[in-house]
A and B are shown apart, each in its own frame.
Chain A
Amino acid sequence: MKIIIVGAGEVGYNIAGRLASENKQVVVVDKDQEAVKRLSENLDIQVITASGSNPKVLIDAGIKETDILLAVTDSDEINLVACLITDLISPTTKKLARIRNSDFEPYHDRFKKENPHIDTVINPDFEVVNTIKKLMEVPGAVDVGDFADGQVKYVAIRLDMHSPVAGMKLIDFPSRFGENRPLIAAIIRNNEVIVPRGSDKVEPNDLIYFVSETQKLKKTLMLFGKKVQPIQKVFIVGGGRIGERLAKTLEKDSIKTKIIESNIDRCHYLSEQLDKTVILHGDGSDQKLFLEENVGRTDIVISVTGDDETNILVSLLAKNIGVQDTITRIGKSSYFPLLATIGIEKVVSPRLSAVSSILQDIRKGKVLSDISIFGDRGEFIEAIALETSDITDKPLKKLSFPKGAILVCIIRDGLIMIPSGDSVINPGDRIILFAVKHAVKKLEKLLTVKLDFF
Chain B
Amino acid sequence: MRWQFIANIIGILLVFLGLSMVVPLLVSIHYHDLAQDSFIQSIGITMAAGLILIILSKKQVDDNYINQKEGMATVALAWTGICLFGALPFYFGPEFTSFTDAFFESVSGFTTTGSSVMTNIEGATKSLLFWRSFIQWLGGMGIIVLSLAILPFLGVGGIQLYKAEVPSPVPDKLTPRLSDSAKILWVIYAVLTLILIIFLLGGGMPLFEASCHAFTTMPTGGFSTKNASIAHYNSAYFDYVIVIFMILAGINFSLHYQMLRGKTLVFWKDTECRFFLGLTLILTLLVTWNTYGSVYTSIKDAFRFASFQVVSILTTTGFATADYENFPGLSQIILFVCMFIGASAGSTGGGMKCARIIVCFKYCYRELFKIIHPRSISQIKINHIAIPDEVLRSIMGFLALYIGLFILSSILLACMGIDMMTAFGAVAACIGNIGPGFGTVGPAENFAHLPVMGKWLLAWCMLLGRLEIYTVIILFVPEFWRK
Contact = CB atoms under 8 A, between A and B. Distances in A.
Nearest to B373: A278
B373 A272 contact: no
B375 A268 contact: no
Interface string B1-40: 0000000000000000000000000000000000000000
Contact of B375 (A271, A275, A292): A292
B145 to A, nearest CB: 31
Contacts of B386: 271-272
Contacts of A282: 375
Interface string A275-293: 1001111100000010011
B379 interface: yes
B97 to A, nearest CB: 59
A228 interface: no
Contact of B381 (A268, A275, A280, A281): A275
A204 to B, nearest CB: 41
Interface in A275-313: 275, 278-282, 289, 292-293
A282 B373 CA distance: 12
Contacts of A280: 373, 375-377
B379 A264 contact: no
Interface in A132-185: none
B203 to A, nearest CB: 45
B384 interface: yes
A271 B384 contact: no
Contact of A279 (B374, B378, B381, B384): B378
A129 B385 CA distance: 25
B373 A271 contact: no
Interface in B351-386: 373-379, 381, 384-386
Nearest to A260: B375
Interface in B318-368: none
A289 B377 contact: no
B160 to A, nearest CB: 28
Interface in B418-436: none
A264 B384 contact: no
Contacts of B373: 278, 280, 293
A432 interface: no
Contacts of A271: 377-379, 386
Contacts of A281: 375-377
B392 to A, nearest CB: 13
A267 interface: yes
Interface residues of B, number: 11
Contacts of B379: 268, 271-272
Contacts of B384: 275
A281 B376 CA distance: 6
B376 A292 contact: no
Nearest to A267: B377
Contacts of B375: 280-282, 289, 292-293
B195 to A, nearest CB: 37
Tell which of B373, B374, B377, B381 has the most Cβ of chain A within 10 Å.
B377
B450 to A, nearest CB: 49
B18 to A, nearest CB: 49
Nearest to A282: B375
Nearest to B378: A271
Tell which of A270, A278, A289 has the most Cβ of chain B within 10 Å.
A278
Contacts of B385: 272
Interface in B40-59: none
A270 B381 CA distance: 12
A278 B381 contact: no
A26 B379 CA distance: 49
Contacts of A278: 373, 376, 378
Contacts of A293: 373, 375
Nearest to B374: A292
Contacts of A264: 377
A435 to B, nearest CB: 49
A275 B379 CA distance: 9
A280 to B, nearest CB: 5
A271 B370 CA distance: 14
A255 B375 CA distance: 21
Contacts of A292: 374-375
A397 B385 CA distance: 65
A270 B375 CA distance: 14
A216 B386 CA distance: 45
A328 to B, nearest CB: 23
Nearest to A272: B386
A270 B384 CA distance: 12
A292 B374 CA distance: 9
A280 B376 CA distance: 4
A293 B385 CA distance: 27
A417 to B, nearest CB: 49
Contacts of A279: 376-378
B42 to A, nearest CB: 53
A289 B384 CA distance: 28
A293 B379 CA distance: 19
A270 B386 CA distance: 11
A25 to B, nearest CB: 50
B394 to A, nearest CB: 19
Contacts of A289: 375
Nearest to B386: A272
Contacts of B381: 272, 275
A164 to B, nearest CB: 43
B385 to A, nearest CB: 8
B308 to A, nearest CB: 37
Nearest to B384: A275
Nearest to B379: A271
A293 B375 CA distance: 9
A264 B376 CA distance: 11
A1 B376 CA distance: 54
A292 B371 CA distance: 12
A110 B151 CA distance: 45
B8 to A, nearest CB: 42
Interface string A321-350: 000000000000000000000000000000
Interface in B283-307: none
Contacts of A270: 377
A270 B379 CA distance: 9
A291 to B, nearest CB: 12
Interface in B172-204: none
A233 B185 CA distance: 47
A278 B376 CA distance: 7
Interface string A252-280: 00000000000010011011100100111
Nearest to A280: B375
B374 A268 contact: no
A91 B424 CA distance: 77
B348 to A, nearest CB: 31
A278 B369 CA distance: 10
A292 B373 CA distance: 8
A282 B377 CA distance: 10
Nearest to A278: B376
B205 to A, nearest CB: 47
A280 B372 CA distance: 12
B372 to A, nearest CB: 10
Interface in B374-409: 374-379, 381, 384-386
B365 to A, nearest CB: 13
Contacts of A268: 377, 379
A444 B384 CA distance: 53
9 contacts: A267-B377, A268-B379, A271-B379, A272-B381, A278-B376, A278-B378, A280-B373, A292-B374, A293-B373
Interface of A: 264, 267-268, 270-272, 275, 278-282, 289, 292-293
Report the 7 A-B pairs with minimum CB-CB distance, sorted nearest first.
A267-B377, A272-B386, A271-B379, A279-B377, A280-B375, A282-B375, A281-B377
Given A279-B376, A280-B375, 18 more contacts: A264-B377, A267-B377, A268-B379, A270-B377, A271-B377, A272-B385, A275-B381, A275-B384, A278-B376, A278-B378, A279-B378, A280-B373, A280-B376, A280-B377, A281-B376, A282-B375, A289-B375, A293-B373
